[in-house]
């Protein structure tokens, strides 16, 4: 049994012994009928909020210039005082790009990692998410999500710091170089602390 999945029970009787039996059986919440729907929704919201805080003990933040912070655990992209909530798919796609900065990634590779499979419909769906991510980083000149024709994408980053559980684990600063007409690379300067 997975202890991270809550068990909510709605019982018919008002007897204390029935509710106690429910808790002994492993219920997290036991509501008696007639129950208040608002109370049930609030209890679910509280559980979700607590489970997000507890999580797996792992927090990941990616920081860019101009106070741009992508917080994977909180599902948000913060740009100064502006807070943009992200869907699961968007945050997983962004995390995949940030785990592979300045690397050419094929559409098939991205789709297999984020969607679990690759086909034409997923490819078109991916294009929509890429447009959203580009829009999110409009005000951040150190980030450029470049399309590689007939191949995929390259998440070009010239300044990024990665924090895991509040500790700086990787910092990328780069000087852009161009070697020939089709080179999309950057010279990496990686410092670890």
pLDDT digits (tens, 9 = 90+) for 157-185: 888 888 887 888 888 877 543 333 444 44
Kindly state whether residue 99 falls inside one of the protein's structural domains: yes
How far apart are alpha carbons 10 and 28 in whole angstroms? 11
How far apart are alpha carbons 137 and 135 in whole angstroms? 5
Strand partners, 83: 78
DSSP assigned state of 117: S
Residue 51 confidence class, pLDDT cut points 50, 70, 90: low
Range of the domain at 105: 60-191
Contact (CB, 8 A) for 7 and 27: yes
Q: Of residues 54 and 57, which shows the higher confidence score?
A: 57
Kindly state whether residue 2 falls inside one of the protein's structural domains: no
Q: Is residue 140 classed as helix, strand or coil in its secondary structure? A: coil
pLDDT for 163: 85
Kindly state whether residue 1 falls inside one of the protein's structural domains: no
CA-based angle 163:165:169, to the nearest 5? 35
Q: What is the mean pLDDT of residues 102-125?
A: 91
In the numeric block, which tokens belong to residue 21?
């039996």
Strand partners, 104: 154
Kindly state whether residue 77 falls inside one of the protein's structural domains: yes
pLDDT for 193: 53
User: Is residue 16 pLDDT above 50, yes or no?
Assistant: yes
Contact (CB, 8 A) for 52 and 130: no
For residues 40 and 73, state if they share a domain: no
Kindly state whether residue 107 falls inside one of the protein's structural domains: yes
Q: Of residues 49 and 160, which shows the higher confidence score?
A: 160
User: Is residue 88 pLDDT above 80, yes or no?
Assistant: yes
Contact (CB, 8 A) for 119 and 108: no
For residues 27 and 76, state if they share a domain: no
Please count the structural domains in the chain.
Answer: 2
How far apart are alpha carbons 85 and 80 in whole angstroms? 14
pTM: 0.60
What mean pLDDT, rounded, does the chain reach? 79
């Amino acid at each position: 049994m997975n202890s991270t999945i809550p068990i909510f029970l709605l019982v018919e009787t008002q007897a204390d012994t029935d509710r106690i039996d429910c808790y002994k059986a492993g219920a997290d919440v036991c509501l008696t009928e007639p129950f208040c729907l608002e109370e049930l929704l609030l209890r679910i919201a509280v559980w979700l909020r607590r489970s997000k805080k507890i999580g797996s003990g792992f927090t990941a933040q990616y920081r860019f210039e101009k106070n741009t912070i992508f917080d994977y655990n909180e599902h948000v992209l913060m740009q100064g005082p502006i807070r943009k909530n992200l869907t699961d798919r968007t945050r997983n796609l962004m995390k995949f790009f940030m785990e592979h900065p300045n690397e050419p990634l094929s559409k098939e590779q991205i789709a297999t990692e984020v969607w679990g499979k690759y086909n034409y419909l997923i490819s078109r769906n991916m294009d929509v998410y890429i447009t959203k991510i580009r829009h999110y980083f409009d005000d951040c000149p150190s980030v450029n999500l470049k399309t590689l024709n007939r191949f995929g994408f390259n998440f070009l980053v010239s300044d990024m710091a990665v924090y895991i559980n509040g500790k700086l684990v990787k910092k990328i600063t780069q000087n852009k170089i161009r070697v020939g007409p089709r080179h999309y690379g950057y010279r990496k300067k990686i410092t670890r602390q």
